[in-house]
Structure 1
């Protein structure tokens, strides 16, 4: 492969590794030093020519490995136009690049609020059978806070769902819905869910429904949450412990202890074993509603099952017992909590469980 004279001088700093038979497998671009006679546009043009030559002349496996160096250089220059051309060249040659390369392009497009290029990179990544990282999805969602591209987003999602049959699409949809909610755009997250639910393309799974239940619960939209839970079952999914915990927790936040208990009973009847999160939500709910007897009953039940109460549960019980002037029992629980406080689950344990639940 012949290099142009000016670019050849610049490329003289590159490090090439060859194997037998000679194949270009590694290329590290330390720096592109522009010649005095070349302006930035000319250098970019030459880089694009060399990039095209590389992917046309080298075997697919080899060309995929060297793409990163060229793309990294263009990203560092912030040249989105050239980046878009590179992506088109890769598509024309049906070259599958690594997720790292796609994420490199995606981050650059997102940082520059180039929504169209972000769509193109996401599409290439998904068609390759991969899914963008959760971090990339959150950055992508944040780009929509300042610019309203909701119509384009929905059109893109329709398109990608219709063209992609790989298993990564469900994971991607879940990350996107979660990312929009995480970035303060809960309404947009729900619109995405509603759109895909209406399409009925089979991309929604139980995780999707659990994420949406959590969003609605945090928003205090009880009726909508109950509708989604009913829709979950109607769609053929079997609610798991996470589904019930999310529902009970959401209902508890608005004081619906009657429904909390009903779904708690349904949960056990369907073979879903209550855990620490279940009992925490129930004890908080019943205690807050003044039904301390039910809270104490649940407290005893969980201990009989070998579930270690959390510090939060002890504090909730002690607080509610003090309110109704059951000081002796409150003091007893305080002593019990203090004597075993080092082994009790605390707030950090709950955060860890939530992260695992959403992964």
Structure 2
């Protein structure tokens, strides 16, 4: 390992200033040997000599640092990555976030987020990737802490940031906080879009706040936003679970009139809830319609497209 470092540092020190070098072979050797201190030393030497590293090299170190929960090395290489490219990839952000899974105190994390947000990558898209990465890595509480911190510091957030946070709050069942964030978003001038409303309605549905689902559906319509497959799926299930079969059927007819293709999930939810309310004959008619329409039903891809758009 001493020989590897000697060769690596010689390569770095002899490189022209501001050059970008690919040290993949050396980095792979150090990673396999789990010599994280040597990686840290290498990063310092490259900084001292104003040498950039390729994103591939930085990502290789990020992966190893996250596996070992080495927060200091992760911060060191992530900062190096930010200086080497315009914007880190979603995978890089996820690797960075995973290093913090065993860290309970957020002070160091927020200090670092503040530091990197003040350099040239302080755009909303960068912030969105960081928040989403922490949520995806199972650290939803840290994602929300980062969001609150950035808002207090008046850093760039946009509608996508709010949609990501609404989704996090809905998934953990914090619907009162979710509604507060939704309303505050409107107060500061962001107009909710179809993703905002779908996320809010789905979150409310999950915890049985069916009355509020209807309230926000009406607000959505008043604002000229057309409901889509996700909206109708949530509403039909919401009305059905609350025992309001008539409203469920009304939504079902409306979506078909507007040309929104029903899914098998909608049919099954509608049939199940009609049976529960004693409307057996009507349930049988809907079942017959579903079977006759099996070749032209909305499928999983119709849901996935909207999810991908939400997470962009």
The TM-score normalised by the length of structure 1 is 0.80
Contact 1:312/1:346 (<8 A) preserved: no
Secondary structure, in 3 states, of the residue corresponding to 1:145? coil
Question: Counterpart in 1 of 2:10?
Answer: 50
Question: Counterpart in 2 of 1:301?
Answer: 254
Give a deviation string over 1:246-276, Cα, whole Å, max 9, x none: 0111111222222222211221222322110
Mean Cα deviation higher: 178-187 or 220-229: 178-187
Query: Which of the pair has more CA radius of gyration?
Result: 1
Relative contact order (alpha carbons < 8 A, sep ≥ 6): 1 or 2 greater?
A: 2
**How much does 1:128 deviate?**
3.5
Pick the aligned partner of 2:56 from 100, 120, 123. Answer: 100
Q: Which runs of 5+ in 1 are unaligned?
A: 1-39
Pick the aligned partner of 1:184 from 138, 141, 157. Answer: 138
Q: Does 1:166 align with 2:102?
A: no
Q: How many residues align?
A: 312
**How much does 1:177 deviate?**
1.9
Q: Which runs of 5+ in 2 are unaligned?
A: none
1:45 and 1:213 map into 2 onto residues whose CA distance is: 47
Question: Counterpart in 2 of 1:22?
Answer: none
User: Which segments of structure 1 move beyond 4 Å, counting only runs of 4 or more?
Assistant: none
1:138 and 1:297 map into 2 onto residues whose CA distance is: 43
Mean Cα deviation higher: 305-314 or 86-95: 86-95
1:135 and 1:189 map into 2 onto residues whose CA distance is: 16
1:31-46 equivalences under 5 Å are: 40-41=1-2, 43-46=3-6
Query: Structure 1 residues 301 and 184, CA, compared in 2 at 3 Å: closer, same or farther?
Result: same
**How much does 1:286 deviate?**
0.8
1:139 and 1:258 map into 2 onto residues whose CA distance is: 40
**How much does 1:355 deviate?**
3.4
Question: Counterpart in 2 of 1:245?
Answer: 198
Question: Counterpart in 2 of 1:330?
Answer: 283
Mean Cα deviation higher: 217-226 or 96-105: 96-105
Question: Counterpart in 2 of 1:233?
Answer: 186
Contact 2:160/2:310 (<8 A) preserved: no
Secondary structure, in 3 states, of the residue corresponding to 1:146? coil
1:63-78 equivalences under 5 Å are: 63-78=19-34
